[in-house]
Amino acid sequence: GMSRYNTNLQQVANNTWNKIDKINTELFTLTYGAIVVQLLKDFDSVDDVNNQLEKMGYNIGLRLIDEFLARSGLGRCRDLRETAEVIAKVGFKMFLGFAGTVLKMNAKKGSFHLVLEDNPLIDFVELPAQYKDTLIYNNILCGVIRGALEMVQMKVKCTVKKCPLKGHDVTQIKVVLIEHLTSEIPVGDEF
C-alpha cells in the first residue's frame, strides 16, 4: 500500500535527481541571504519583506512546476495526500537537494505539513534579535509552493510553522487547500 507507493516516489526522486545539473549550494545559500538582507534595507517594515519573499517565491513557483513535471515525468496527483508526498519526496529533493516528510496529513480539512530536516536556504544563517520574531526567512518556500500548485489548479495557503532560525529543530511548512480551481482544469484532464 503506502510503503510501496513511497518506494516508487523514492525511485522517481532518485532518477530525477540523477538527471539534473548540480551547483554548489553555498552560492545558492549566499545569494538568497544577499537578497533577504537587501530587501530588509529596501523596505520599511519586516512584514513588507515577508510579503516580497512570498511574492518572489510565487513567481518562481509558476515557472518551476513545468520543469518539475517535465523532469520527473509525473502526472496529476490523484489526491491531496499524493500531492503532499510528491512535494516532499520529489519536489524538495529536486530543488533543495534534500527530501522532506509529510506530517499531520488531514484530507478532510485539506491540510498537511511539510517537514525539512536539512534546509540549504538557512545554512550559516543566524537571525539578529530584532528579526527573530518577525522575519519569515523561509517565506520564499511558501510562495514557491503556492505558485506551483496554482498552476496545477490548486489554490493553497502556506505558512511557516517551525524554523531552526527561531530555535526549532526542523523547518516546517503548513499547506492548506483553499479550493480546487475547477474552472481552470485543462479540458480533457481531471483531478
Partner 1 sequence: KMSEGNFTSPLYSIFIINKSGGLIFHKDLVQRKVRLTSNSYLQIAGVFHGMYAITSQLAPTKEVSSGIKTLEADCMKLYCFQSVTGTKFIVTTEPNRNDVEINEFLSQLYSLYANYVLKNPFYDLEQPIHNCDKFQINLNSLIENMFSVSL
Shortest gap between Cβ of 61 and partner 1 (angstroms)? 11
Q: Can residue 67 be called a binding residue for partner 1 (CB under 8 A)?
A: yes
For position 27 contacting partner 1 by CB under 8 A, the verdict is no
Query: Torsion over CA of 104, 2, 158 and 66, rounded to 10 degrees?
Result: 180
Residue with Cβ nearer partner 1 (16 or 119): 16
Smallest distance, Å, CB 74 to partner 1?
Answer: 9
Q: Is 62 in the site for partner 1 (CB under 8 A)?
A: yes
- Amino acid (1-letter code) at residue 172: Q
Per CB under 8 A, 31 contacts partner 1 = no
From the list 82, 92, 87, the residue with the least C-alpha distance to 17 is 92
- Specify the stretch interacting with partner 1 by CB under 8 A; choose among 63-71, 84-92, 111-119, 162-170: 63-71
Closest CA to 131 of 27, 33, 31, 28: 33
DSSP H helices, the chain, are: 2-19, 25-42, 46-72, 80-86, 92-96, 129-132, 139-151
Is 79 near partner 1 (CB under 8 A)? Answer: no
Q: Which stretch binds partner 1 (CB under 8 A): 31-39, 62-70, 120-128, 160-168?
A: 62-70
Question: Binding-site residue total for partner 1 (CB under 8 A)?
Answer: 19
23 belongs to the binding site for partner 1 (CB under 8 A): no
Binding residues among 166-185 for partner 1 as defined by CB under 8 A: 184
Interaction of residue 63 with partner 1, rule CB under 8 A: yes
Per CB under 8 A, the list member of 71, 104, 161, 180 interacting with partner 1 is 71
Residue with cell 552560492: 27
- What region, left, alpha or beta, does residue 188 occupy, with left being phi > 0 and alpha being psi -120 to 50 degrees? left
Of these, 75, 124, 133, 169, which contacts partner 1 (CB under 8 A)? 75
Cell numbers at 83, concatenated: 500531492
Counts of helices then strands in the chain (DSSP H, E):
7, 4
Closest CA to 177 of 150, 157, 161: 157
Q: Site residues (CB under 8 A) for partner 1?
A: 62-67, 69-71, 75-76, 151-152, 184, 186-190
